[in-house]
């Protein structure tokens, strides 16, 4: 007698086994979720620390086995089914079923979409040549690492954090590096002018060539391989390889096709709920429509949104209200950011950039909204309170480094 195969299903399915997905699975169990959980990720690896890719891993200072987010037996010990190397292609909210890239259908009670984003790709002439690298996952990074020994020169397209971290590491290997940035300063999307100019100076000091206000017209090639970059300024920069760091496209197509509201990622409310019943979205691909009203790409955001979604699934509706933080390592410089500087109308410099240890305080309507602290861990720790409380502090006191931020909080 023919028997219908039992349909696979889980009480909660998490799509994407990166920072947000791994945290969501761990938090569900932590908050007492007793149902079945599947964590499905497209990458073949166990969940790992993505920021390390453009830092210690690329530099050869950290082996991959030290980058796992949790011990390898963590998932089975908590009865979490970790399915690696599988992509979710279709979401059907009416039957509460997803379809994987091997055509398996799996049903869910709740779904947490934590699929991150894919690197924005070059589209200009020459974009298909070999020797063009992106850094989003381990495979990308391994391909770059394999190509580096043969490369004398590299062009980094995009003067954001990932491009600049890679540039710093390549200089450490002795590679000639040119950074090409379309806007008129580095880090323009994320940092104020003094921070941008400081990093520009540091990179130049380490021998990095920098082209600002320079668009890429096409990629030059020879025998199918990259040989350089033609800029719209008329200049051609010779290079053995290219690293492209021009942002990401949120990986949300299956959710949008399923009818989720969104555009720049998928829209979520303060509990990380999408417009589709029982479907949550967290991390790089979630656009919070209340509070900050934006999509944030950071480990902190992915982890804290995952906790919010897990709580909501466990019946505790606690709005997401974390204070954002971020970091970047370049050379011996550690940048730590607290708060979001979106919409700032004034900045105050604490300390002298020439000492390579200073902070930039971002103000909006007279209140402190964020700080970038460069080799200033004390300001970073103490500045959190100023951001949390939206402190109103006079600019002269803020600029005075003989006053600690802790003292200013007390005042």
Ligand X SMILES: Cc1cc2nc3c(=O)[nH]c(=O)nc-3n(C[C@H](O)[C@H](O)[C@H](O)COP(=O)(O)OP(=O)(O)OC[C@H]3O[C@@H](n4cnc5c(N)ncnc54)[C@H](O)[C@@H]3O)c2cc1C
The residues binding ligand X (CB under 6 A) are 15-21, 40-43, 50-51, 53-54, 87-88, 114-116, 135-136, 162, 251, 283-284, 297-300, 302, 326-328
Give 228 or 265: the residue with its C-beta nearer to ligand X: 265
What are phi and psi for residue 219, nearest 5 degrees?
Answer: -105, 130
Q: How far is the CB of 16 from ligand X (least distance, A)?
A: 3
Q: How far is the CB of 402 from ligand X (least distance, A)?
A: 31
Q: How far is the CB of 110 from ligand X (least distance, A)?
A: 16
Q: Scanning the structure block, which residue is given the tokens 């199918």?
A: 224
Q: How far is the CB of 403 from ligand X (least distance, A)?
A: 29
Output the CA torsion sign for 161, 255, 279, 72: negative
Q: How far is the CB of 64 from ligand X (least distance, A)?
A: 14
Give 116 or 339: the residue with its C-beta nearer to ligand X: 116
Give 75 or 326: the residue with its C-beta nearer to ligand X: 326
Q: How far is the CB of 301 from ligand X (least distance, A)?
A: 7
Q: How far is the CB of 133 from ligand X (least distance, A)?
A: 11
Give 70 or 406: the residue with its C-beta nearer to ligand X: 70
Question: Taking the CA of residue 343 as centre, how many other CA atoms within 13 Å lie in the half-sphere pointing to its CB?
Answer: 11
Q: Scanning the structure block, which residue is given the tokens 């939206």?
A: 390
Work out the number of other CB atoms within 10 angstroms of the CB of residue 356. Answer: 15
> Which of 26, 244, 270 lies closest to 120 in space, CA to CA?
244
- Provide the terminal-to-terminal Cα distance of the chain, rounded to the nearest Å: 80
Give 131 or 158: the residue with its C-beta nearer to ligand X: 158
* 83 vs 15: CA distance, rounded Å: 10
Q: Quick check: 369 and 362 in contact, CB under 8 A? A: yes
Q: Please give the full DSSP string across 106-157, using - where no structure is assigned.
A: EEEEEEEE---EEEPPP-SBTTTSBTEEE-SSHHHHHHHHHHGGG-SEEEEE
161 Cβ neighbours under 8 A, 6+ residues apart: 54, 187, 190, 245, 328
* 178 vs 28: CA distance, rounded Å: 45
Give 36 or 298: the residue with its C-beta nearer to ligand X: 298
Give 373 or 408: the residue with its C-beta nearer to ligand X: 373
């Amino acid at each position: 007698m023919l028997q219908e195969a039992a349909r696979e299903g889980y009480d909660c399915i998490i799509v994407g086994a990166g920072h947000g997905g791994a945290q969501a699975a761990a938090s569900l169990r932590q908050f007492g979720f007793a149902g079945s959980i599947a964590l499905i990720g497209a990458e073949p690896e166990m969940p790992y620390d993505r920021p390390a890719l453009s830092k210690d891993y690329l530099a050869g200072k950290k082996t991959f086995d030290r980058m796992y987010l949790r011990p390898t037996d963590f998932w089975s010990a908590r009865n979490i089914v970790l399915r690696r190397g599988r992509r979710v292609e279709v979401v059907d909210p009416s039957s509460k079923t997803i379809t994987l890239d091997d055509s398996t259908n799996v049903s869910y009670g709740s779904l947490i979409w934590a699929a991150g984003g894919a690197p924005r790709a070059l589209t200009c002439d020459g974009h298909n040549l070999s020797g063009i690298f992106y850094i989003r996952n381990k495979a990308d990074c391994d391909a770059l690492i394999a190509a580096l020994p043969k490369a004398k020169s590299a062009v980094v397209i995009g003067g954001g954090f990932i491009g600049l971290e890679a540039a710093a590491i390549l200089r450490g290997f002795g590679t000639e590096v040119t950074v090409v940035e379309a806007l008129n300063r580095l880090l323009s999307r994320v940092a104020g002018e003094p921070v941008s100019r400081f990093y520009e100076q540091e990179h130049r000091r380490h021998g990095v060539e920098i082209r600002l206000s320079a668009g890429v017209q096409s990629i030059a090639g020879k025998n199918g391989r990259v040989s350089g970059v033609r800029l719209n300024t008329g200049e051609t920069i010779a290079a053995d390889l290219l690293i492209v760091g021009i942002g990401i496209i949120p990986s949300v197509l299956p959710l949008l096709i399923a009818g989720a509201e969104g555009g720049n990622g998928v829209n979520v409310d303060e509990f990380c709920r999408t417009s589709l019943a029982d479907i949550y979205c967290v991390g790089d691909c979630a656009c919070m429509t209340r509070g900050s009203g934006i999509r944030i790409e950071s480990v902190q955001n992915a982890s804290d949104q995952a906790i919010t979604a897990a709580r909501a699934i466990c019946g505790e509706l606690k709005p997401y209200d974390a204070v954002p933080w971020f970091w970047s390592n370049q050379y011996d410089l550690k940048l730590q950011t607290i708060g979001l500087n979106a919409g700032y109308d004034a900045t105050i410099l604490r300390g002298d950039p020439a000492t390579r240890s200073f902070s930039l305080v971002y103000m909006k309507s007279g209140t402190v909204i964020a700080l970038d602290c460069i080799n200033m861990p004390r300001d970073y720790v103490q500045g959190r309170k100023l951001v949390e409380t939206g402190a109103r502090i006079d600019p002269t006191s803020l600029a005075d480094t003989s006053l600690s931020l802790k003292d200013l909080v007390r005042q």
